[in-house]
Amino acid sequence: MNNMPDIPRFHGNSNWQAIAAELMEPGHMGCPGCGASLSMRHALKVLGPKTIVVMPACCWAIIAGGQPTTALDVPLLHTPFAVAAAVAGGVRQALAAQGENETTVLTWAGDGGTFDIGLQGISGAAERQEDIIYVCYDNEAYMNTGIQQSSATPPGAWTTTTPTGKDFRYAKKDILAIIKAHNPAYLASATIAYPDDFYAKFEKAKTARGFRFLHVLAACPSGWKIASQDALKVTRMAVDSGVFPLVEMAADGNLVQTVKPAKRIPVADYLKAQGRFSKITAEEIEIWQENVDKVWMTPEKINQKNG
């Protein structure tokens, strides 16, 4: 098919059919424009029907629908907040004990369940090299409970518990560095706003064995104070400004950048596109820009920072 934009496997109808099968149902409870919903839809397209999803408290615990409904056409196990990684490990070990080694066990958790309350369990599962894919869809606050700050909330961002913006002394926790220190089988950041990259990384995660971790930036129109139709655009800006670099762990264990945006945009553009940063000062933007510039795009520098 002609003039197809660079959407994964869109080049030709026959290939398009390859990702046509849906494993997510309409009528889910996600807010309009929800990046987490879209990310799940495509994650499942890559991982396929032989996937079991384990999900702690997070937006998706609601998005997936209340009993007796479910938004997923794969098995889904809801769990308490802190334990999704451990539960997933248990699921995988049970399958292995039953001689089942094909099914992918996917933990699908928000930033609160990953950066904060679930971190210990993730560390344990990573150390044990539990054969699971852990996806943190990061919308940068406790959105499900009404937009409270998490340790994934970027400095300067408004939340209901940071009414004047998160203190600039508290940086967003560097989750990739933390997981990297556990020597995972695969590690990457991704966003569905860069679909090719997203698909490639989920495919790599699917084929790797051991503990695999994907940090997925997912726009939250309500929490970021953006219009629902701008969710993708703003997410792309996060990448294009260097605020959310798309990286993955190479064979040598270092993080390398996988997408170099065609045009780098100022951090200020990204921040100003969102209502949650309305109170950020010019000085703070400058600091942010400098920090991004320091690590921008050279893998060596990202490694220095993370390693």
Which 199-258 positions form the footprint of another protein (CB under 8 A)?
221, 227-233, 236
Taking the C-alpha atoms of residue 235 and residue 223, their distance in angstroms, rounded to an integer, is 13
**Which amino acid is residue 48, in one-letter code?**
G
The DSSP output letter for 171 is P
Closest CB to another protein among 125 and 285? Answer: 125
Write each residue from 181 to 200 as x if it is in contact with another protein (CB under 8 A), else as -, in one continuous string.
-----------x--x-----
Pair 9, 19: CB distance under 8 Å: yes
In the complex, what is the shortest distance from the CB of residue 287 to another protein, in angstroms, rounded to a whole number? 29
Q: Which residue has the tokens 């200020």?
A: 268
265-304 positions binding another protein, by CB under 8 A: none
Coil, helix or strand at residue 65: coil
Q: Are strands 255-257 and 247-249 parallel, antiparallel or unpaired?
A: antiparallel
DSSP 248: E
- How far apart CA 264 and CA 259 sit, in angstroms, is 11
Which of residues 50 and 294 has its CB atom nearest to another protein in the complex?
50
Task: Give the x/- contact pattern for another protein in 75-114, rule: CB under 8 A.
Answer: xxxxxx-xx-xxxxxxxxxxxxxx----x-----------
**Positions in 114-133 near another protein (CB under 8 A):** 120-121, 123-125, 127-128
- Minimal distance, residue 290 CB to another protein, in Å: 28
CB 257 within 8 A of CB 242: no
- Comparing C-alpha atoms, which of 206, 65, 59 is closest to residue 146? 59
Residue 14 contacts another protein per CB under 8 A: no
Smallest distance from another protein to CB 133, Å: 14
Instruction: Write out the binding residues for another protein, residues 24-63 only, by CB under 8 A.
Output: 24-35, 37-38, 41, 49-52, 54, 61-62
